[in-house]
C-alpha cells in the first residue's frame, strides 16, 4: 500500500514537473499534514516504518527552511536504523493554511509539536522508542516542550547547537565570535585582516558591555558568523539514497526578509526572553549533545553549560571544524555518535 | 547616399516592429488584430523555488479574454497549481492593457485578483477543541490571490492567418494570508490562445 502511494505521489510530482536531481522519484517515505491553530504543518517521515526507534526532529530557525532540505543529511544517515520524522514549523515556507501573526509564539510552537507527536503516534501505532532531536532553535523548542508536557514516553534527547537561555548564549556567542575573528585576522592580510580585526573589536565590545542586545547588533554578529560558515562548511556527499529538495536562492530575498520580519516579530520578542536554564536541571532523559567546534551562534561553551547542569545522563561530542550547521555539513560526524547513542538507549 | 537612406529606413522599420509601434511607421491598413475579439487560452506558469516562501510550483490555467485588439482588456482565468506538498484550485479576474503591431508583435500587462482554494498532500490531522488530534477530510483553505503579469509574443493571424497567438511573460503573485503574513511568488508563464 505504501509503495503504491509512493508511486502515485511520484506520478503527481512528475506531472507537476517537480523532480529532484535524481529524477522524478518521490523524495519522502510518508507525508501527512497537521492543522494546528490555523496553520497546516507538513510532517515527513523517512526510513523503515516498522523501526523500533522514532526520531522526531525540530528544525532550527524559526524562519525560512523551505529551501533547506527538510531532512538534514546528518539525520538522513540514521534512516537505515530509525524512522526519522521531520516537520515544518508554522512560519516556514513549507507550512500553509491561515495562521495569525500573534500565534507565532513559543507556546504555540510547543502546542504544534505536541499535535505533531499525537498525529505521529496515531499514524504509526505500536510501542516504539521516541527520541526528540533539535537543532539550534529546535533545541529551545524541545526543552520548552518537555517543560510543558513532561518526559513521559520519551526515551532520549539529541540536542545540537542550540541554547537553553537567550541571554546567557548571546554573551558567549559574541566572545566566541571574537576568538574566531582574531584567528582569522592573524591568518590573513590586507583588507581581510582589517575586516576581522573590526569584527573582533565589535564582538568584544558587545560581549562585555552587559547592555541588552539590539536586533541590529545580533544581525551584524550573525552576518560575521555567516562568513565564517561559508569558509568552513564544506558539505560531505550525503550517503543516504534519499534525494534532497536542495537549497536555492531567490530574487525575492528582500521582500521575503520583510515578510519574515513582520511575521516573526512576536516570536523574536519571545525568544529574547527565552530562559529554560532552570528546567534543564530537571531533565532526566538520556541526552546526547553534538556541537560544532567553530559555532559562533551557539558556541561550545553554551553546550558545556547545558551539559554541566543537565539532570540526567548526558554526553557531549564536539565536531572539529564544524560550525553551527554540523548536522548539515558534516553528516557522518553527526550520525556516528547519534547512532551509537540510539543503540545504547534502553 | 541612397544606400544609407535604405539602411536607415529598414532600421526604423525594424525598431518599430520590436516596439510594437509599426503602425506609425507605415501606411498599412488597421491590422486584423485590432478588431474586437474574444480569445480562449491556456497558460502554464512555473514559479521559482524560494528558500523562505515555498519550493517550486507549477500553475496550469485556462481562460478567456475580451479585448478590442488594442487597449484595455478583461480576462478571466481558472486553473490549478501543483506544489510539492499539495495543490490548489484557483480563479482570477484580470484587467489590463495590450497592443498588437501590424507585424504581429503582441504585448500586454495585467493586474488580477482572485481566490485560491489550497489543499495539502497526504492525510490531514486536525487539532480538536479538547486538544486531541483527529484525521479529517481536507476541504481546503480559501486564500486571496493578487497578480501582476506581463507578456510579449506574436499574433499568428498577421503572419500565417491562423487565429492563434503565443506569449511568454513574468508573473508576480501574492497569496494572503499565509503563515501570518503573505507569500510572494515569482514565475514565468507561457500562453497559447485562440482568437475568434
Tens digit of each residue's pLDDT (9 = 90 or more) over B62-116 = 999 998 767 899 999 999 998 878 899 999 999 999 888 888 888 999 999 999 9
The whole-number pLDDT of residue A214 equals 76
pLDDT grade for B25, boundaries at 50, 70 and 90: very low
The whole-number pLDDT of residue A270 equals 85
Q: Do B181 and A68 touch (CB under 8 A)?
A: no
Of B48 and B14, which is predicted with more confidence?
B48
The CA-atom distances, in angstroms, between A186 and each of A194, A199, A230, B139 are: 10, 13, 18, 61
Q: Is the Cβ of A15 closer than 8 Å to some Cβ of chain B?
A: yes
Residues of chain A scoring pLDDT < 50: 1-27, 65-67, 237-248
The whole-number pLDDT of residue A337 equals 95
ipTM for the assembly: 0.83
The whole-number pLDDT of residue A246 equals 38
pLDDT at B15 over 60: no
Q: pLDDT, tens digit, for every residue of A190-199?
A: 888 999 999 9
Of B118 and A222, which is predicted with more confidence?
B118
Q: Do B50 and A42 touch (CB under 8 A)?
A: no
Closest CB to A262: pick one of B54, B135, B181.
Answer: B181
The whole-number pLDDT of residue B70 equals 75
Pick the range with the lowest mean pLDDT from A54-58, A126-130, B4-8, B144-148: B4-8
Q: Are B22 and B102 in contact (CB under 8 A)?
A: yes
The whole-number pLDDT of residue B21 equals 41
Q: Which of residues 117-136 of A touch B (CB under 8 A)?
A: 118-119, 122-123
Q: Do A250 and B53 touch (CB under 8 A)?
A: yes
The average confidence (pLDDT) of chain B is 81
Closest CB to A33: pick one of B55, B84, B124.
Answer: B124
Give chain A's length. 346
Give the ranges where B89-182 is alpha helix by DSSP (H). Answer: 156-159
Output the pTM of the full model.
0.81
Of A45 and B55, which is predicted with more confidence?
A45
Closest CB to A95: pick one of B56, B84, B179.
Answer: B179
Task: Give the 3-state secondary structure of A34-86.
Answer: EEECCEEEEEEEECCCCCCEEEEEECCCCCCCCCCCCCCHHHHCCCCCCEEEE
The CA-atom distances, in angstroms, between A128 and each of A56, A342, B143 are: 12, 12, 39
Residue with cell 515569482: B186
A16 vs B contacts (CB less than 8 Å) = 57-58, 82-84
pLDDT at B34 over 70: no
Please give the grid coordinates belonging to residue A63: 524562519
Q: What is the mean pLDDT of residues B53-65?
A: 83
Distance CA A274, CA A295 (A): 20
Q: Which of residues 213-272 of A touch B (CB under 8 A)?
A: 245-252, 255-257, 259-260, 262-263
Q: pLDDT, tens digit, for every residue of B165-181?
A: 899 999 999 988 876 66
Amino acid at each position: 500500500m505504501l509503495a503504491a502511494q509512493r508511486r502515485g505521489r511520484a506520478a503527481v510530482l512528475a506531472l507537476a514537473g517537480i523532480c529532484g536531481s535524481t529524477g522524478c522519484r518521490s523524495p519522502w517515505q510518508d507525508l501527512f499534514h497537521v492543522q494546528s491553530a490555523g496553520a497546516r504543518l507538513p510532517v515527513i517521515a523517512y526510513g523503515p516504518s516498522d523501526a523500533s526507534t522514532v526520531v522526531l526532529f525540530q528544525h532550527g530557525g524559526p524562519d525560512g527552511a523551505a529551501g533547506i532540505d527538510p531532512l538534514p543529511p546528518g539525520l538522513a544517515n540514521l534512516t537505515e536504523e530509525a524512522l526519522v520524522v521531520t516537520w515544518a514549523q508554522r512560519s516556514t515556507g513549507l507550512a500553509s493554511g491561515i495562521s495569525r501573526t500573534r500565534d507565532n509564539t513559543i507556546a504555540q510552537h510547543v502546542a504544534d509539536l505536541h499535535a505533531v507527536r499525537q498525529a505521529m503516534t496515531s499514524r504509526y501505532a505500536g510501542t516504539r522508542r521516541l527520541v526528540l532531536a533539535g537543532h539550534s532553535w529546535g533545541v529551545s523548542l524541545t526543552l520548552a516542550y518537555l517543560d510543558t508536557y513532561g518526559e513521559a514516553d520519551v526515551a532520549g534527547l539529541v540536542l545540537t547547537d542550540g541554547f537553553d537561555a537567550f541571554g546567557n548564549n548571546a554573551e558567549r556567542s559574541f566572545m566566541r565570535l571574537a576568538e574566531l575573528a582574531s584567528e582569522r585576522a592573524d591568518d590573513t592580510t590586507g583588507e581581510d585582516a582589517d575586516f576581522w580585526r573590526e569584527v573582533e573589536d565589535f564582538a568584544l565590545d558587545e560581549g562585555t558591555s552587559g547592555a541588552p542586545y539590539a536586533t541590529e547588533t545580533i544581525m551584524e554578529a550573525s552576518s560575521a558568523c555567516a562568513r565564517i560558515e561559508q569558509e568552513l562548511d564544506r558539505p560531505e556527499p550525503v550517503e543516504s539514497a534519499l534525494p534532497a529538495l536542495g537549497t536555492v536562492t531567490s530574487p525575492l530575498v528582500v521582500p521575503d526578509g520583510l515578510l519574515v520580519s513582520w511575521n516573526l516579530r512576536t516570536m523574536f520578542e519571545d525568544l529574547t526572553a527565552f530562559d529554560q536554564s532552570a528546567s534543564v536541571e530537571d531533565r532526566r532523559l538520556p541526552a546526547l549533545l553534538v556541537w560544532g567546534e567553530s559555532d559562533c551562534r551557539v558556541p561550545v561553551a553554551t553546550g558545556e553549560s547545558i551539559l554541566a547542569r543537565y539532570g540526567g545522563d548526558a554526553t557531549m561530542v564536539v565536531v572539529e571544524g564544524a560550525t553551527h550547521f554540523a548536522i548539515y555539513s558534516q553528516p557522518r560526524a553527526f550520525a556516528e555518535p547519534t547512532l551509537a547513542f540510539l543503540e545504547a538507549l534502553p | 547616399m541612397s544606400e544609407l537612406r535604405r539602411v536607415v529606413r529598414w532600421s526604423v522599420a525594424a525598431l518599430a516592429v520590436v516596439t510594437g509601434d509599426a503602425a506609425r511607421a507605415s501606411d498599412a491598413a488597421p491590422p486584423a488584430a485590432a478588431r474586437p475579439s474574444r480569445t480562449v487560452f491556456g497558460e502554464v506558469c512555473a514559479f521559482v523555488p524560494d528558500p523562505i516562501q515555498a519550493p517550486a510550483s507549477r500553475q496550469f490555467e485556462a481562460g478567456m479574454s475580451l479585448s478590442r485588439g488594442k487597449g484595455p482588456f478583461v480576462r478571466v482565468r481558472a486553473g490549478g497549481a501543483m506544489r510539492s506538498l499539495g495543490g490548489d484550485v484557483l480563479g482570477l479576474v484580470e484587467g489590463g492593457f495590450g497592443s498588437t503591431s501590424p507585424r504581429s508583435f503582441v504585448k500586454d500587462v495585467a493586474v488580477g485578483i482572485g481566490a485560491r482554494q489550497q489543499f495539502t498532500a497526504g492525510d490531514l490531522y486536525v487539532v480538536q477543541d479538547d486538544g486531541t488530534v483527529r484525521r479529517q477530510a481536507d476541504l481546503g483553505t480559501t486564500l486571496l490571490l493578487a497578480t501582476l503579469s506581463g507578456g510579449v509574443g506574436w499574433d499568428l493571424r498577421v503572419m500565417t492567418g491562423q487565429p492563434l497567438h503565443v506569449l511568454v511573460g513574468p508573473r508576480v503573485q501574492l497569496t494572503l494570508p499565509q503563515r501570518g503574513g503573505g507569500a510572494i511568488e515569482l514565475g514565468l508563464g507561457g500562453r497559447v490562445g485562440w482568437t475568434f
